[in-house]
Structures are given as C-alpha cells and as structure tokens.
C-alpha cells in the first residue's frame, strides 16, 4: 500500500513546486505500487515565494519503474521509466546457460548401422543376384474346368427311375489336389523330361530358380511348386495355371502335358463312377439270370423224365376221355336194359351188350388210375402228382422271369443315369506361347524385400528400446 502523504504548507502565491517526492507519490498513486521513500517535510528548506526551483536530492537507489494500473492515464513526465530496483529480502533470479549443440551418440550409430545391415545390405545382395545371376523365365498360361452335362433318358418314361448315384466331393476339388501330387509330377516328367527343361540354366549360375538334375522326385516336386502357380476359384470352379520355364516352347509343352494328364484323370473318374453306379444292378441282374436258367433247366428235366410237355393239357385230354367213356357206358347200359326187355336170355345181342359194358368199365378204371383218382393205385406215378410237380416248376420259372425283368429294368435305369451325366475337361484357355520374358519379377521382389526388411528393422528397434527403458 502507498504511504500517507505529509501535510506541507502551501508556498506563497499558490505556486506548488514540482518536487521529486510529489512526482514519486503521483506515480505511486497511478501505478498502485510503492515508490521510493519521501524525504520528511521538516528536513526540506522552505520554498521561495517566486519561481521556486525544485530541490532534487540524490537518491540512494533508482526507483522501480512505475506500472500503470488498468485504465490509468500515464503522465507525460513519466514517459521514460526508471530502471528496476531490488527490494530488500527479494531473491536474486539467476539465468541458466544456453543449450549446447546436439552431438552424435552411440544409439544413433547403432540405429544407422542396424538399418544398413538389416535393410540395405540384403537389398543390395538381392538386387545383385536378380539383375546379374537370375535367368529370364517365360510363362505359359492355361485354364480349364470340369463340365458335367445332364441329359434326359427315354427309359425314364417307363416310370420311376430315380437317381442311383451321387458325388461326395466336387470333381474340381479332386483335380486341384491332383495338380500338386507326386503322381502328376512323375507322369509329366516321363512325358516331357522336366529335369532337362528346368536344368537348362546351370545351378551354379542361378541356384534359386534352376534345378539340379541329380535331385530326387521329392526335390522335383518341390521345384514343381515353385515353377507352377495354381489359382483355383471355388466360386466358379475354374482352375488357372502359370507354368514357368527358361524357354517359351518348353513352358508350352509342360502346360499341354498337364492338360492332357488332367483330361485322362477326369475320364478315369467318369469310368470309375460309371462302374460304381451300375455295379450293384449288374450283380442283381446276373443273379436273376442264373435263377431263371436253373428254373428252366429243371422244367426241361421234368419233361424229359415224364415225356409230358404240359401236364395240364394232358389232364384235360384224360378228363375228356373219361367223360366220353362214361357217356358210352351210359348208352351201353341203356341198350342192355332194352335188350333184356325185348329179347330172350340166350340172345347173342345181350351177351355182346354185356361185353361192351365190361370193356367200357375197365377202360374207365384204367384212365382213373392214370389220373390218380382210382380206388387202387397203379404201378406207375399218379398223374395228379405230375401235375403238382409241374405247377411248382412253372411257379419257380415265372418268379425267376419276374425277378429277371425287374433286375434288367434297374440295370437299364442305372445305365441311362450314367449316360446322361457325362464329365469332361473343358479348357477355356489353351496353353499359350510367350514372346518375352516376364519372370522373375525383379522390381516386385525388390519392393517386397525392402518393405519386409524395413518392418523387421523397425520392430527390432522398438523391442530393443522398450527393453532398454525397463532397466
């Protein structure tokens, strides 16, 4: 707070001297800060009456610069503030030294050297190998798929021929697995000599892309996966191949050999599926044919043994004969009765009539014994037993014929089902012949290597500094 001002007598003539104490008090009132101590009025000499001159005492220290309050008006005589003055007991403010220039340290050298060894050195050696040692390669493209044509058969009009076979896996999936199999590698190698084609470039010159002819079939299969790219679209069931070789004609030959082997494999699958579909029906048909043959053989043996072609017809003939004999017997009996009424006992016509009746009765008895309905069985086999045996053989033969008919219909239905499902390999892209080398893709390999090496280097640095900060 500002100190209270002393009451001083006004000089004569109403002239107020402009003293330093008044000036400091005025600045204190405007700035709101204490000014230097004022000299007591009692120690001051009396001001002259006319034109007084201000007495400026020698201050012990320079007063602090006045700070005008907010909204206060600064006098014109305070335009140049006084230098600051340190108050008693105030702490001395020390100014620190300025920052020194940055210097290279060990961690900077480590980061730079690790970047060189992890990123730049592998990139340099890879570029050197790709542009000086790696041989040019030519690509042959081929694309194909498995097609199945379903056709309706006329035998379906016979009624109720259902589908007899099915497939648990797609033919295209089987073909995709076959393209990476050792069996296909062995067949293609036997046809076009893969070892000679992929070893046209010396292994010492290009150890990565060239093949060592002394390698095993497993080594050849590994190199197959490197030189042949397989793209399979499960949505459209299309398979695209890219075959690489050091000569464009060799690449086309390999692609054509692969296409031929895949076609043969699909045909073999169709044949196996056809055989599996008709195997059961064929077995049933063979059993029905054998049963029918046995039934007919047994019937033929019966006819040869009995000398009867059809016992039912013979039975009808025998029954007709019995009916005729019984009719003749009735006529003879009537005639005999008439003769007895009109003639004498010793009449020869009566004797003839009696003889006729006896012969007819004997014949009827004989025919009845043949049919097995007589009172006394004959020495031979009863005709009724022959008829029963014959009817049993006829039933067996009819059942065998019906079974044969059903088995034959099922077999024909299976054949029709197989015929209407025809599988074949359709090539939508024939093996192409390259005109220029597009492999190996040197720029693409370099970009991937640089990107991978940079990420590896960044991750290693982050791991190193995270472990370093934990110590």
Helix axes 248-306 and 182-192, enclosed angle (nearest 10): 110
At residue 168, the pLDDT reads: 36
What pLDDT was estimated at residue 454?
93
- Condensed to tens digits (0 to 9), the pLDDT of residues 89-147 reads 555 555 556 656 666 667 778 888 888 988 899 899 989 988 888 888 999 999 988 87
For the chain, list residues with pLDDT below 70: 1-105, 149-169, 312-318, 370-383, 420-422, 471
- DSSP string across 356-402: HHHHHHHHHHHHHHHHT-SSS--SS--HHHHHHHHHHHHHHHHHHHH
204-216 pLDDT, tens per residue?
Answer: 888 888 888 888 8
Phi, psi of 448 (to 5 degrees): -65, -40
Residues whose CB is less than 8 angstroms from the CB of residue 84 and which lie 6 or more positions away in sequence, other chains included? 64, 65
Rounded to whole angstroms, the maximal C-alpha distance in the chain is 229
Q: Are 8 and 41 in contact (CB under 8 A)?
A: yes
What's the pLDDT score for residue 169?
45
Q: Which two tokens stand for residue 85?
A: 């003055």
- pLDDT value at position 450? 92
- Distance CA(147)–CA(424), nearest Å, equals 6
Q: Which residues pair with 242 in a beta bridge?
A: 141, 229
Query: What is the rounded CA–CA span in Å between residue 31 and residue 65?
Result: 9
> Which residues make Cβ contacts (< 8 Å) with residue 369, sequence separation at least 6?
376, 377, 378
How many beta carbons lie within 10 A of that of residue 125, not counting itself?
11
CA distance to 34, 122, 155, 285, 288, per residue, from 403 (Å)? 133, 79, 19, 8, 6
Cα–Cα distances (Å) from 37 to 20, 153, 424, in that order, read 10, 129, 117
Tokens linked to 59: 């201050």
pLDDT value of position 91: 56
Contact criterion met (CB below 8 Å) for 256 and 431: yes
């Amino acid at each position: 707070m500002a100190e209270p001002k002393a009451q001083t007598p006004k000089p004569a003539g109403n002239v107020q001297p402009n003293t330093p104490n008044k000036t400091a008090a005025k600045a204190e009132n405007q700035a709101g800060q204490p000014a230097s101590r004022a000299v007591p009025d009692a120690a001051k000499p009396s001001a002259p009456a006319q034109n007084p001159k201000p007495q400026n005492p020698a201050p012990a220290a320079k007063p602090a610069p006045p700070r005008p309050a907010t909204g206060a008006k600064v006098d014109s005589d305070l335009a140049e503030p006084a230098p600051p003055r340190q108050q008693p007991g105030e702490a001395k403010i020390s100014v620190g030294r300025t920052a020194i220039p940055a210097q290279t340290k060990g961690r900077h050298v480590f980061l730079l050297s690790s970047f060189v060894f992890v990123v730049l050195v592998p990139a340099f050696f890879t570029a050197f190998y790709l542009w000086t040692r790696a041989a040019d390669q030519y690509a042959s493209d081929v694309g194909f798929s498995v097609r199945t044509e379903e056709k309706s058969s006329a035998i379906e009009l016979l009624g109720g021929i259902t589908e007899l076979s099915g497939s648990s896996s797609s033919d295209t999936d089987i073909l995709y697995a076959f393209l990476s199999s050792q069996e296909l590698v062995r067949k293609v190698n036997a046809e076009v000599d893969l070892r000679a084609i992929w070893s046209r470039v010396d292994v010492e010159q290009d150890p990565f892309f060239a093949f060592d002819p002394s390698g095993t079939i497993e080594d050849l299969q590994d190199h197959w996966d490197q030189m042949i790219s397989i793209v399979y679209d499960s949505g459209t069931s299309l398979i695209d191949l890219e075959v690489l070789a050091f000569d464009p004609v060799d690449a086309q030959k390999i692609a054509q050999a692969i296409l031929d082997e895949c076609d043969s494999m699909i045909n073999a699958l169709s044949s196996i599926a056809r055989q599996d579909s008709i195997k059961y029906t064929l077995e049933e048909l063979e059993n029905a044919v054998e049963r029918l043959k046995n039934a007919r053989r047994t019937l033929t043996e019966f006819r040869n043994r009995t000398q009867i072609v059809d016992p039912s017809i013979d039975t009808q003939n025998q029954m007709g004969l019995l009916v005729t004999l019984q009719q003749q017997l009735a006529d003879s009996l009537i005639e005999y009765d008439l003769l007895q009424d009109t003639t004498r006992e010793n009449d020869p016509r009566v004797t003839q009539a009696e003889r006729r009746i006896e012969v007819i009765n004997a014949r009827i008895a004989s025919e009845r014994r043949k049919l097995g309905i007589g009172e006394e069985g004959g020495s031979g086999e009863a005709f009724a037993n022959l008829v029963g045996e014959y009817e049993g053989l006829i039933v067996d033969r009819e059942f065998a014929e019906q079974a044969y008919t059903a088995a034959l219909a099922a077999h024909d239905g299976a054949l029709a089902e197989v015929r209407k499902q025809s599988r074949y390999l359709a090539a939508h892209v024939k093996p192409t012949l390259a005109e220029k080398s597009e492999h190996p893709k040197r720029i693409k390999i370099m970009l991937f290597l640089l990107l991978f090496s940079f990420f590896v280097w960044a991750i290693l640095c982050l791991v190193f500094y995270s472990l370093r900060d934990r110590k």
